Chain A
Amino acid sequence: MAVAFWILAVVSVAAGIAVFVVDSMARATFALLASLLAVGLAFLLIDLEYLGVLIILMMVMEMLVMAVFMIMYMMNPAGLMPMKMVHNHRAAMIISAAVFVLLVAGIFLTSWPPRGGEPPADPTHQLGLAVMGPKMLVMMVIGVAILATMISTVVLATHRGRYARYGDDLERKRPLDPGEES
C-alpha cells in the first residue's frame, strides 16, 4: 500500500514535470494525463473507488478535448512542430519553483488536526447525498459555468454558425456542408 502510494506519487510528480520539459504539444498533453491517472489510481488506494475511476474517465476525456482545443485555438493546429511548453521561460521557472517550495513548506509546517470520525461504509452513497444535498448549489453553479464556457469557446472558434448552414432566414431544409456553395 505504502509502496504503491510512493510509486504513484513519484510518477505523478515526474509526469507533471515532464509536461513542461517536453517540446511537443501531444507529449505534454499525455504527460499531464499520465500524472492525473496516477492521482486517480491513488484514490483507489484509499478505497474511493467511484471517485478514482471517475477521475480516470474524466481526465482521459478532458485531455482529448484539449486535443480538440489544439485545432480550435493554436497557430500550429496539429501540434506537429516542436515548441516550448512555457511562456516567459525564466520567470515561469522562478515563480513555479517558489510556489512549489511554499506549498511543500506549508504541508510540513502546518500542525494538522487529529482525525475525527470514521470513513463511511459506502463512500459513493455518501458522495451522492452530499452532491444532491448540501453541495447542490455549488454543483449547479459549476455546471452552468462549465456549460457557458463550452458554448463560448465553440462560438469563438467556429466560423460556421447555423445561419451559414441553413441560410439567413434558416430556410434551407438540408444544411450546407463545409465548403459547399449555396
Chain B
Amino acid sequence: MPELGLLALPLALVVLGLAAAGLDAVLSGGRASAPFGEIARLLVQQRRRTTRPDVLLLRVGVISLVAAPLLAAVVIPLGDAPVADLSAGIVWFNAMEVCVWGALWLTGWSVNSVFPLVGAYRFVAQGLAYELPHMFALITVALGAGSLRMSEAVQAQQGLWFVVWMPLAFLIYLVSALAMAFWGPMSQPVGSDLAGGVRAELAGPDRLLFQAGRYALLVVAAGAAVPLFLGGGAGPVLPGWLWALVKTVAVLALLVWVRHRVPAVRMDRFTQVSWLVLIPLALVQLLVVGIVVV
C-alpha cells in the first residue's frame, strides 16, 4: 500500500514527534501539552535578524533539516512495505541522515554569529565520531540479511530478531541515533553552555522548523531501529503496522528518557570512545555475523 503509506508517513512523523516532545516536557516537570504552546508561540514570534547573514544558505540549512528525516523515512517499512522499497534502502537511509551534517553546519554558519558557528563545528566533530560505528552497525544488518533492501532485512528476521544475535550493533545504533539527532547526552551542538549553540539565533518560524526537524530525526532514528533490529512488524495477534508503531514508540520513549538520566558528553571525549571502543566492537560484531552467515 505505497499510496496509503505516503499519507500515513507524514502523519506518523508529526504525531510521534509531538508525542516525543510531550513526553520530554513531562519528564522535565512540565505538562504534556507544552509543545502545542511552544508551536503557537513560535508561529507568532518575529524572526531575529543578525548582521549580514547568508539568508539563502540559512533557508537551505533549516529546510533540509526537515527534508532529510522525511526522505530518510520513505524507506522505513510501516508494517509490510515502505513507501519506496529501494534496492539500496539502507544506504539511502544513511545518506539522508548524513544530510543533517550539512543542514546543521549551514544553519550554524550562515547566521554569522559565534555560538551557532561553534555549535555547528561541534556537530561536525560529533558526526565524524559517530558515523563510522553507525555505518558498521548498518552494514552488519545488511550482512545478516544478505541485502541492502529494508524489506528483506525484515524478512530475514522472521525466525530471530537481529537484536538477539547482534546486540552490540543494536547498542551502537542507539548511541549513534542519539548523536545523529544531537539529543540528550549528545546535545552539545545545541548546548546551553553555548547559549543554544546552532539554534541560538533562530527565532519564530525558523526555530519551529529546526525543532520540528530535530524531533523528526529522533522519530526516524527510532523508527529505523524497528526494521533493522526489532523484526519490523513481526508479532502476535496485532497487525504488522501496529506492532511497528508500538516498537517505534518504545525505542523513542527510551531515547527521550535517556536525555533525563545521562549527562552531556563532550564530543572530543566521545570521539575517543567512539574510535577506540565502538569501532573495534562494531568490527568484532561484523566478524561474528560474517562467520555465522558464511
Binding site for B on A (CB under 8 A): 24, 26-27, 30, 33, 49-50, 53-54, 56-57, 60-61, 63-65, 67-68, 71, 78-80, 124
Which residues of B62-105 are within 8 A (CB) of A? 86-88, 91-92, 94-95, 98-99, 101-102, 105
Residues of A within 8 A of B106 (CB): 26, 30
Interface size on B, residues (CB 8 A): 28
Residue of B88, B98, B101, B109 touching A50 (CB-CB under 8 A) = B88
Residues of A within 8 A of B9 (CB): none
**A–B complex contacts, Cβ < 8 Å, 27 sampled:** A26-B54, A26-B106, A26-B109, A26-B110, A27-B57, A30-B57, A30-B60, A33-B102, A50-B87, A50-B88, A50-B91, A53-B88, A54-B91, A54-B95, A57-B94, A57-B98, A61-B98, A61-B127, A64-B101, A64-B124, A65-B128, A68-B125, A78-B117, A79-B109, A80-B112, A124-B87, A124-B88
- B229 proximal to A (CB < 8 A): no
Closest residue on chain A to residue B127 by CB atoms: A64
Question: Are A64 and B54 in contact, CB atoms less than 8 angstroms apart?
Answer: no
Residue of A27, A67, A80, A124 touching B105 (CB-CB under 8 A) = A67
- B209 proximal to A (CB < 8 A): no
Roughly how many angstroms separate A60 CA and B121 CA in the complex, as a whole number? 15
Residues of B within 8 A of A64 (CB): 101-102, 105, 124, 127
Roughly how many angstroms separate A65 CA and B134 CA in the complex, as a whole number? 17
Residues of B within 8 A of A54 (CB): 88, 91, 95
A25 to chain B, nearest CB (A): 9
Residues of B within 8 A of A67 (CB): 105, 109, 121, 124
Roughly how many angstroms separate A71 CA and B86 CA in the complex, as a whole number? 37
